[in-house]
C-alpha cells in the first residue's frame, strides 16, 4: 500500500465501539514509542462528542496500561465558556478521562480565562505550548499525537470555513472569530497541527459519511480539514464502516 495513499491512511472499524478499541490500542503503542524515545508522550485532545467514548475507554480499560505520569495532555481547541459550562471541551474531557484515571494535575494543560478574554487566554496557552512541547525542525511545538474531529462543514479543531485563523502561520494557538456562532473559539493553528508526529482524525456514524467522502475525495473543495498534512508526520483516519459508506476505498475492516 503506497505510504500516504488514502488506503494507507484509513483504519476502518466495524462500528464505533471497535473504532474506540482500535484507536485506544494504537494510542497505547504510540505512547510506548514516545516514552522509549523521549521519556514523555505529548497529546492534543479533540473536543466534540465523538472522542468522548475513547476518553472513557482509555480511563477504564487502559487504567493499568498507560504510563499516566509521563503523558502531557493539551486541549486542541476550546469554547469561550467557563470550564464548568456544558459546552466546555475541558469539562467533557475532565469528566470522561482526567477525573477517572491517575492523571497528575500538573500533566494537564487547560486554557484559562477563555470566557473573559479570549485573546489573552489564547496568548497564554500559546506560550505554555511553546514552553512544554519540544519543537522539531519547523520551530513549532511537535506533539507526539494530535486527535482531531471532523465537523459537518469540514471544520476541525476550531478552524472553521472562512475564519481568520485559517491564515495564521505564526501563532500556535489563537482566538478565532466564528461568524455562524457569533462567538470566539480558541484553536490550535495549522503550523502546530502539521508539525505533529501523528495526526489522527476520528469520524464515526452515518452522519459523517457525506462530509468524510467530500473531504477525502474532493481535494479542491477547500475544507479546513483538508489542510491537515503533517510533514514529516503521519496522518490517519480512524473511522467506522458507517462513516466511510460513501467513500470509495479498498480498505478492509480491521
- In the bound complex, what is the minimum distance in angstroms from residue 247's beta carbon to ligand 6PG? 17
In degrees and rounded to multiples of 5, residue 205 shows phi and psi of 95, 155
Q: Tell whether residue 171 is a contact of ligand 6PG (CB under 6 A).
A: no
**Binder among 118, 149, 224, 230 for ligand 6PG (CB under 6 A):** 149
CA distances from 21 to 57, 62, 138, 139 (A): 8, 10, 33, 34
Query: Cell numbers of 154, please?
Result: 469540514
The residue whose Cβ lies closest to ligand 6PG is 149
* Torsion sign over Cα 79, 129, 194, 200: negative
Span 60-99, contacts to ligand 6PG by CB under 6 A: 77, 89
Per CB under 6 A, the segment of 3-11, 45-53, 161-169, 188-196 that binds ligand 6PG is: 45-53
Per CB under 6 A, the segment of 47-55, 63-71, 128-136, 170-178 that binds ligand 6PG is: 47-55
Give, for 34, the enclosing helix (H) or strand (E): helix 16-38
Q: Do 206 and 242 contact (CB within 8 A), yes or no?
A: yes
- Which is closer to ligand 6PG, CB of 40 or CB of 215? 215
* Torsion sign over Cα 36, 52, 176, 213: positive
Q: Tell whether residue 155 is a contact of ligand 6PG (CB under 6 A).
A: yes
Question: Which chain residues interact with ligand 6PG by CB under 6 A?
Answer: 46-50, 77, 89, 149-151, 155-158
Amino acid at each position: 500500500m503506497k505510504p500516504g495513499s488514502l488506503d494507507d491512511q484509513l483504519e476502518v472499524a466495524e462500528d464505533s465501539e471497535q473504532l474506540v478499541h482500535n484507536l485506544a490500542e494504537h494510542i497505547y503503542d504510540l505512547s510506548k514509542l514516545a516514552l522509549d524515545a523521549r521519556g514523555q508522550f505529548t497529546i492534543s485532545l479533540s473536543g466534540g462528542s465523538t472522542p468522548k467514548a475513547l476518553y472513557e475507554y482509555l480511563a477504564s480499560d487502559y487504567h493499568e496500561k498507560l504510563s499516566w505520569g509521563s503523558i502531557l495532555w493539551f486541549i486542541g481547541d476550546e469554547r469561550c465558556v467557563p470550564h464548568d459550562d456544558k459546552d466546555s471541551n475541558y469539562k467533557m474531557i475532565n469528566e470522561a478521562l482526567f477525573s477517572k484515571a491517575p492523571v497528575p494535575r500538573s500533566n494537564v494543560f487547560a486554557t484559562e480565562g477563555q470566557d473573559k478574554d479570549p485573546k489573552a487566554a489564547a496568548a497564554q496557552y500559546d506560550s505554555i505550548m511553546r514552553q512544554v512541547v519540544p519543537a522539531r525542525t519547523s520551530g513549532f511545538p511537535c506533539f507526539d499525537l494530535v486527535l482531531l474531529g471532523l465537523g459537518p462543514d469540514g471544520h476541525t479543531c476550531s478552524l472553521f470555513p472562512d475564519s481568520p485563523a485559517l491564515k495564521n502561520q505564526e501563532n500556535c494557538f489563537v482566538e478565532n472569530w466564528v461568524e455562524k456562532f457569533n462567538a470566539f473559539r480558541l484553536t490550535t493553528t495549522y503550523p502546530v497541527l502539521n508539525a505533529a508526529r501523528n495526526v489522527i482524525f476520528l469520524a464515526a456514524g452515518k452522519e459523517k459519511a457525506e462530509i468524510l467522502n467530500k473531504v477525502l475525495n474532493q481535494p479542491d473543495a477547500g475544507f479546513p480539514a483538508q489542510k491537515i498534512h503533517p510533514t514529516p508526520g503521519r496522518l490517519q483516519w480512524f473511522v467506522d464502516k458507517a462513516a466511510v459508506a460513501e467513500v470509495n476505498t479498498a480498505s478492509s475492516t480491521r
